[in-house]
Amino acid sequence: MKEVAERAGVAISSVSRVISGHPDVSEAMRARVMKAIEELEFRPDARAQSLRTGSTHTIGFIAADISNPLFAEIATGAEIELRAWNYSMLVANAFNDAELVREQLLLMEHRSVDGLLLSVSDETDPELQAVLQRMPFPITLIDRDVRGFTGSAVLSDHAAGLEEAVACLVSLGHRRIALVNGSEKVRPSRERAATLRRALEHADGVVPELRMGEFSAEYGYAATRELMAKSARPTAVIAGSNQILMGVLQALRDLALTVPDDVSLVSCDDLPVLSFLDPPVSTIARDPLAMGTQAAQLVLEEIDGAAPKSVVLATEFRRTASCGAPAAP
Amino acid sequence: MKEVAERAGVAISSVSRVISGHPDVSEAMRARVMKAIEELEFRPDARAQSLRTGSTHTIGFIAADISNPLFAEIATGAEIELRAWNYSMLVANAFNDAELVREQLLLMEHRSVDGLLLSVSDETDPELQAVLQRMPFPITLIDRDVRGFTGSAVLSDHAAGLEEAVACLVSLGHRRIALVNGSEKVRPSRERAATLRRALEHADGVVPELRMGEFSAEYGYAATRELMAKSARPTAVIAGSNQILMGVLQALRDLALTVPDDVSLVSCDDLPVLSFLDPPVSTIARDPLAMGTQAAQLVLEEIDGAAPKSVVLATEFRRTASCGAPAAP
DNA sequence: TTGTACGCGTTATCAG
DNA sequence: CTGATAACGCGTACAA
């Protein structure tokens, strides 16, 4: 900046005013400074700017698991919104580890992000709440519900889509419906478990088979094998995530069970390719891109002084040929 | 830091020395300062540190398309390595737009990243080379080959896997093999096109059907419809990416063509779920996680003073039931 | 081994 | 409208 000032023959503070678009600067001044800036290919230093102004124009994003394709979609949505507001995104992965989440939170504090998008791996981590409170910037949770947290959140209405799915299965005649669920430490799984229980409470003679575990193909495989080994085996299986679905599919294949003749199949969370399986897999779809843009919007607005807010986005059951009537006993 | 110094009754510089692990500091001093740091929950400010030291401990990652699941894998690999070196990742999306790539590059310069992982959308962009030269930090290209670029790169040996695939198809008796390819503006597509041509050059009577387009399901669909409408239709199709594969599958389904009876199918790039299609799709697999860790390692080493280096990672053809002998004419 | 003083590149305040 | 200068939080040469 000093060089620019010298070349333009003006004071350093004038250069600053031109750069930051200060209103009180003459056209002549603006022109001279801009010329010098072009000639020297000068670009202001974001670090110094943020040291001075306090704002880094950076939003952190801590994901429970980056490698999940769902994350890529959410991140894309967030990036679109952030870009529109001239913010950048600092990404950190938690590898599904609660302690790592806390560590990454401290990192975000250290880097002075202006706000944070957060999808924790374990909402019940007792030390988490204190760490969250301590953060000096607004935080928007993504599909998570942490006790005592008072900030913003973008949530999916998992119940709605699952209720549709269960109602469909019941009406088809299924009397034993399994949910191979993810970790009980996060909201989506808990919502789904509660929804299944509630939905079948008054459905006479329909039994829920609930398995809580983790978001992995390995777990999906093991749980499905176990379920199918029972004498009273479920006639419908709902997979609690994409990774789990992979395990369920593998298990069904190994057991030579056919969909939907031997077992009807539903997947929570959509993937484009699922419609090309044979039969296509019924899904409980949501709009991850919208989750991302919404989440980004919520933090940015909060940075701008708005009050924390929670937004709930719809889910929808998409039935395909993977749901059929159960075979006669 | 001032507060810490006052509380510990020492000079600010002593606090600094303790934090940065300077060797010449007495045990007594270290203890006193650490105590004050704990009590005040002091954390140094990364912005000020980097303004002073010149290093931000941040690596940028510009992806041609974040929403591609392949990116999620590469990013995960990169994050593992970066974390090990105590670096953070600043992510930017280029939405497959060449101009946006340049814009994001300037952003990275503005943010003073220490290094960059880059996957451009268009290697032939005439303005790109100049911008790359201008960047004051090491850059590692990810599966890209920009003319005149002299930095590091992590490349996939697309030829190897594709040669295997083509050899397999030829030996099965296919005489007309189509490649529904992605954009010719990036290395993977060009490598694949060249490989197909080369492989069939000396295979008497075997005709390559090459279609260059873009990485999208829409293009995959249109190209496949067009190929299959010809009087001499190909008996084998190789999809140039996951997105393209989705279009190919849709087209085959709409045309009521069966795999592998009517047409054999191969996909470049793997997805876990492809093995559950019916029949499972043959893939040319690579290790995206390794690409990420390798790429991160290359930039970090270059930051450490090492010379630029190119690394080529293997690809492997995984044959499944989606490749079979063509029907008799 | 510890303390003093300066500068990193900006912005904001204030005086002119 | 413009210029001089302090301060943002930290690292480091240098002196003590």
Q: What is the mean pLDDT of residues A24-34?
A: 94
Q: Determine what percent of chain B is predicted with pLDDT higher than 70.
A: 100
Chain B residues with CB-CB distance to A37 below 8 A: none
Task: Specify the pLDDT at position A143.
Answer: 98
Neighbours of B301 (CB within 10 A): 18
Mean pLDDT of all residues belonging to chain A:
96
A50 neighbourhood in chain B, CB within 8 Å: 47
- At residue A329, the pLDDT reads 65
In this predicted structure, the answer to whether residue B58 has a pLDDT above a threshold of 70 is yes
> Is residue B329 scored above 70 in pLDDT?
no
Average pLDDT of the residues in B300-309: 96
For A147-161, the pLDDT digits (tens) are 999 999 999 999 999
How does pLDDT run across A125-178, given as a tens digit for each residue?
Answer: 999 999 999 999 999 999 999 999 999 999 999 999 999 999 999 999 999 999
Predicted pLDDT at A204: 83
- Number of neighbouring beta carbons within 10 Å of residue B98: 19
Give chain D positions with protein CB within 7 A: 1-5, 7-13
Say if the Cβ atoms of A90 and B88 lie within 8 Å.
yes
Average pLDDT over residues B209-213: 97
**Residues ≥6 apart with Cβ < 8 Å to B283:** B266, B267, B268, B269, B270, B271, B274, B317, B318, B320
Strand D contact at CB of residue B50, distance < 7 A: no
The answer to whether B20 CB sits below 7 Å from nucleic acid chain D is: yes
Residue A81 has pLDDT above 90, yes or no: yes
Q: Which residues touch strand C (CB under 7 A)?
A: A 1-2, 12-13, 16, 19-20, 42-45, 48-49, 51-53; B 10-14, 17, 24-26, 28-29, 48, 51-52
Residues A301-326 have a mean pLDDT of 97
Topology, domain A56-156+288-314: Rossmann fold (3.40.50)
Give the 3-state secondary structure of residue B98: helix
| Nearest residue: Cα versus C1' of C13 | A13
Cβ-based neighbour number of residue A56 at 10 Å: 24
Q: How confident is the model at residue A327 (pLDDT cuts 50, 70, 90)?
A: confident
- Nearest protein residue to nucleotide D7, judged by CA and C1' positions: A52
* Domain assignments of chain B as residue spans, ordered by start: 2-44, 56-156+288-314, 158-286
Q: What is the pTM of this model?
A: 0.95
CA–CA distance, B65 with B195 (Å, rounded to integer) = 25
pLDDT, residue B297, reads 98
Please state whether strand D lies within 7 Å of residue A202 at its CB atom: no
Nearest CA in chain A to B68: A72
* CATH class for the domain made up of A158-286: alpha beta
* Chain A closest-CA separation from residue B198 CA (Å): 32
- Sequence-ordered list of residues with C-beta below 8 angstroms from that of B55, at least 6 positions apart, any chain: B114
Domain B2-44 CATH (choose: 3.40.50.1100, 1.10.260.40, 1.20.1370.20, 1.10.3720.10): 1.10.260.40
CA distances to A52, A108, A210, B57 from B53, in Å: 17, 19, 55, 10
Q: What pLDDT is recorded for position B328?
A: 76
**Intrachain domains B56-156+288-314 and B158-286 with the same fold:** yes
Percent of chain A with pLDDT over 90: 95
Q: Which of B47, B134, B217 sits opposite A51 (nearest CB)?
A: B47
Cβ A76–B92 below 8 Å, yes or no? no
Confidence of residue B218 (pLDDT cuts 50, 70, 90): very high
* Partner-chain contact B72 A76, CB within 8 Å: no
Distance CA B155, CA B176 (A): 29
User: In the predicted model, is pLDDT for residue A328 greater than 80?
Assistant: no
**From the C1' of D6, which residue's alpha carbon is nearest?**
A52
Half-sphere exposure of B11 (CA within 13 A, CB side): 4
pLDDT (average), residues A217-245: 97
Task: Look at the block and give the residue holding tokens 């006052």.
Answer: B6
Is residue B264 over pLDDT 80? yes
A50 to chain B nearest CA, in Å? 7
Pair A88, A150: CB distance under 8 Å: no
pLDDT for A78 equals 98
Alpha-carbon dihedral of residues B106, A114, B74, B153, nearest 10 degrees? Answer: 30
Distance between the two ends of chain B, CA-based, in angstroms? Answer: 81
